[in-house]
Structure 1
């Protein structure tokens, strides 16, 4: 079955290098300047053409959660199916469940008893440790470290090299919906919904 990568930007092209060794690949774009071109040797088609194709699954290569939601809804409204893209170096332990649309880049790991929501992105060298619950449209940038007993709500973005301290079974660390954790931040306490935090230890960004 053909894999259509929605979004031929930098991340999409990184994913194509994983996917092309596993199956046929297409890019999908809404930008007129990209449609009809070849990027990394892969054709870029319009969404209208995607709707006419059979035997195709989609993953969405857009980090922004709100845009990813919109594109996913657009596909769902047309009955387009979602796939999963997983690098051959990805590792997955026992008791792990993953919902549709997940992307797992090279050297990523889900260790044990982890629940992952829809349209999750795990970029290179990121991991989710034991007993974590991850919501929908969550993005882990490269080397994001999610330690055990952590709850991450929907639409959270975790920046490159960020580290989340391990919670406990009776008091898991909780990252609120729509929060943004900055590059290299060290999170030791719960993060409120919509908050932007940076630093070590992580604190709300002064605006």
Structure 2
């Protein structure tokens, strides 16, 4: 029971509000970020686990196509990606992770834009990823990216639960966005 003028707040809403009040900085990762990236991903039960070693390799070998968001000296967002060897016009996004306290700021989209604006991606006109059917957050993110880029989004089942994951993981749908004009990346950073 509540007496007087007490007000109840959603704790996550308070954390998100506090997170918005400090500056978020986007940058390429360094080897020293590997453990913090791994910890951020581990804290999100909906994401597939990668090894710490995998995140170290992403933060070093693929630093040009990965990005993180820092706020108050803490990593609150991460996007890993790479350019497939036989597709120099394509950026494949491997994983997107945003701390719940930093959600609602468009960080996933801004991190993708940060990567696309780098010299490593100067020839990129296509964006690809895979998404499970029930991952509403990823569908919303990549649909938003396609809309903002003015590009078509295509999807097709790519890795099936039975044929590729031995029934241990939901099917992944290949998502392809593009072609788009590299000059349109700036449309990804606005609200």
Pick the TM interval, shorter chain.
under 0.3
Higher helix fraction (1 or 2) = 2
Tell me the TM-score normalised to structure 1 length: 0.24
Tell me the TM-score normalised to structure 2 length: 0.25
Higher strand fraction (1 or 2) = 1
**Greater RCO, CA 8 A, separation 6+:** 2
